[in-house]
Chain A
Amino acid sequence: MSEHKSIEEIEKEIVEEFSLFDGWDDKYEYIIDLGKKLPLLETEHKKDENKVKGCQSTVWLAAEFKDGKVFYKADSDAVIVKGLISMLIRVLSGQEPDDIVNTKLDFIREIGMMSHLAQTRSNGLLAMVKQMKNYALAYKLKEGASK
Chain B
Amino acid sequence: MTGILEIEKGLDIQAIRKHFPVLEREVKGRPLVYFDNAATAQKPQVVIDALINYYSDYNANIHRGIHTLAEEATAAFEGTRDAIKEFINAESREQIIFTSGTTEGINLVAQTWGRQNIKAGDEIIISNMEHHSNIVPWYLLAQEKGAVIKVIPINDAGELEMDAFEKLLSEKTKFVSIVHVSNALGTINPVKEIIAKAHEAGAKVLVDGAQSTVHLDIDVQDLNTDFFVFSSHKLYGPTGIGALYGRKELLEEIPPYQGGGEMIKDVSFTNITWNDLPYKFEAGTPNIADAIAFKTAMDFTKAIGREKIRQHENELLAYATEQLMQIPGLRIIGTAKKKISVLSFVIDNVHPQDIGILLDNKGIAVRTGHHCAQPLMERLCIRGTTRASFAMYNTKEEVDAMMEALRKAIKLLS
Q: Give A contacts to B, CB under 8 Å.
A: 23-25, 28-29, 32, 56-58, 77-81, 116, 122-123
Q: Which 8 A-B pairs have the closest CB atoms?
A: A78-B351, A78-B353, A56-B369, A57-B353, A80-B354, A56-B353, A24-B361, A78-B354
* A58 cross-chain contacts in B, Cβ below 8 A: 383
Instruction: State whether the Cβ of B358 lies closer than 8 Å to any Cβ in chain A.
Output: yes
Identify the closest chain B residue to A121 (Cβ).
Answer: B369
A58 to B384, CA, bound (A): 11
B412→A122 contact, CB < 8 A:
no
A77→B369 contact, CB < 8 A:
no
Quick one: which of A23, A56, A79 contacts B368, CB cutoff 8 A?
A56
A80→B353 contact, CB < 8 A:
yes
How many residues does chain B have at the interface if contact means C-beta atoms less than 8 Å apart?
16
* A24 cross-chain contacts in B, Cβ below 8 A: 28, 361
Q: Give B contacts to A, CB under 8 Å.
A: 28-29, 351-354, 356-358, 361, 368-369, 383-384, 412-413
A122→B368 contact, CB < 8 A:
yes
* B383 cross-chain contacts in A, Cβ below 8 A: 57-58, 77
Quick one: which of B29, B351, B384, B412 contacts A29, CB cutoff 8 A?
B412
A122 to B355, CA, bound (A): 13
A56 to B211, CA, bound (A): 23
Identify the closest chain A residue to B369 (Cβ).
Answer: A56
B353→A25 contact, CB < 8 A:
no
Identify the closest chain A residue to B356 (Cβ).
Answer: A122
A123 to B354, CA, bound (A): 10
For the complex with contacts A25-B361, A56-B353, 4 further pairs of A-B residues with Cβ separation under 8 Å are: A23-B29, A32-B413, A79-B413, A80-B357
Query: What are 24 A-B contacts defined by CB distance under 8 Å?
Result: A24-B28, A24-B361, A28-B357, A28-B358, A28-B361, A28-B412, A32-B354, A32-B413, A56-B352, A56-B353, A56-B368, A56-B384, A57-B351, A57-B383, A58-B383, A78-B353, A79-B351, A79-B413, A80-B354, A81-B353, A122-B353, A122-B356, A122-B368, A123-B353
